[in-house]
Homo-oligomer: A and B are copies of this chain.
Amino acid sequence: MAHKYVYMFKEGDATMRNLLGGKGANLAEMIKLGLPVPNGFIVTTEACTEYNTSGKKLSPDMKNQIDQCILELESTSGKKFGDNKNPLLVSVRSGARASMPGMMSTVLNLGINDASAEALANAADERFAYDSYRRFIMMFGDVVTGVSKDKFEHALHEYQQKKGYNSDSDMTAADWKAIVEIFKTLYREDQGCDFPTDAKEQLYAAIVAVFESWDNERAFVYRRMNDIPYEWGTAVNVQEMVYGNMGATSGSGVVFTRNGSTGEDKMDGEYLMDAQGEDVVAGVRTPKNFEELKDEMPAVYDEFIMHSKRLEKHYKFMQDMEFTIEQGKLFILQTRNGKCTAKAAIKIAVDMYEEGTLTKEEALLSVDPKALDQLLHPAFDPASEKAAQVLGSAIAASPGAAAGKVYFTAADAAAAHEAGEDVILVRLETSPDDIMGMVVAKGILTAKGGRTSHAALVARQIGCCCVSGCEAIKFNQDKSFTLGGVTVKEGDYISLNGSEGNIYLGNVKTQKAEIADDFAKFIAWADEVPGRMGIRTNADTPKDSLLALEFGAEGIGLTRTEHMFFEEDRLPKVRKMILSETEAERRAALDELIPFQKGDFMGIYEVMEGRPVTIRLLDPPLHEFMPTEEADFVQLAKDMGKTVQEVKSIAVSLHELNPMMGHRGCRLAVSYPEIAEMQTRAIIEAALEVKKTKGYDIKPEIMIPLVGDIKETRYVKEVVDSTAKALCEAAGVKLNYAVGTMIEIPRACIIADDIAKEAEFFSFGTNDLTQMTYGLSRDDAGRILEDYIEKNIYEGDPTAKLDVTGVGELMRMAVEKGRKARPGLKIGICGEHGGDPYSIAFCHTIGLDYVSCSPFRVPIARLAAAQAALRNKK
Contact = CB atoms under 8 A, between A and B. Distances in A.
A728 B806 CA distance: 37
A197 B779 CA distance: 71
A806 B746 contact: yes
Interface string A653-673: 000111111110001001100
B784 A671 contact: yes
Interface in A216-268: none
Interface residues of A, number: 49
Interface string A737-762: 00000001111001100000000000
Interface in A780-808: 780, 783-784, 787-788, 791-794, 798, 803, 805-807
Interface string A437-468: 00000000000000000000000000000000
A126 interface: no
A774 B787 contact: no
A775 interface: yes
Contacts of A708: 774-776, 806
A710 to B, nearest CB: 9
A766 to B, nearest CB: 13
Contact of A660 (B657, B663, B783): B657
A711 interface: yes
A791 B670 contact: yes
A791 B715 CA distance: 9
Nearest to A672: B787
A389 interface: no
A806 B746 CA distance: 8
Contact of A658 (B715, B746, B780, B792): B780
- Which of A706, A712, A793: most chain B CB closer than 10 A? A793
Interface in A532-550: none
A863 to B, nearest CB: 30
A709 interface: yes
Nearest to A453: B657
Contacts of A746: 746, 772-773, 775, 806, 810
B780 A750 contact: no
Contacts of A779: 656-658
A771 interface: yes
Contacts of A794: 709, 711
Contact of A663 (B715, B744, B751, B784): B784
A805 B671 contact: no
A777 interface: yes
Contacts of A783: 663, 671
A708 to B, nearest CB: 5
B658 A784 contact: no
A768 B775 contact: yes
Interface of A: 429, 656-663, 667, 670-671, 706, 708-709, 711-712, 715, 744-747, 750-751, 768, 771-777, 779-780, 783-784, 787-788, 791-794, 798, 803, 805-807, 809-810
B777 A706 contact: no
Nearest to A806: B747
Contacts of A798: 709
Given A656-B780, A658-B660, A670 B806 contact: no
Contacts of A711: 792-794
A866 to B, nearest CB: 30
A656 B806 CA distance: 25
A751 B670 contact: no
A747 B775 contact: yes
Nearest to A747: B806
Contacts of A771: 661
A363 B703 CA distance: 53
A267 B461 CA distance: 76
A770 B671 CA distance: 22
Contact of A670 (B747, B773, B793): B793
A617 to B, nearest CB: 16
A29 to B, nearest CB: 34
B747 A774 contact: yes
A656 B777 contact: yes
Given A746-B746, A750-B806, A810-B746, A709 B793 contact: yes
Contacts of A671: 783-784, 787
Contact of A659 (B744, B780, B788): B780
Contact of A662 (B780, B793, B807): B780
A754 to B, nearest CB: 8
16 contacts: A658-B658, A660-B777, A661-B771, A663-B784, A667-B784, A667-B787, A708-B774, A712-B788, A715-B791, A746-B775, A746-B810, A747-B775, A747-B807, A750-B806, A750-B810, A751-B805
A741 to B, nearest CB: 13
A616 to B, nearest CB: 16
A62 to B, nearest CB: 26
Contacts of A656: 777, 779-780
A747 B661 contact: no
Contacts of A792: 711
Contacts of A809: 750
Contacts of A774: 661, 708, 745, 747
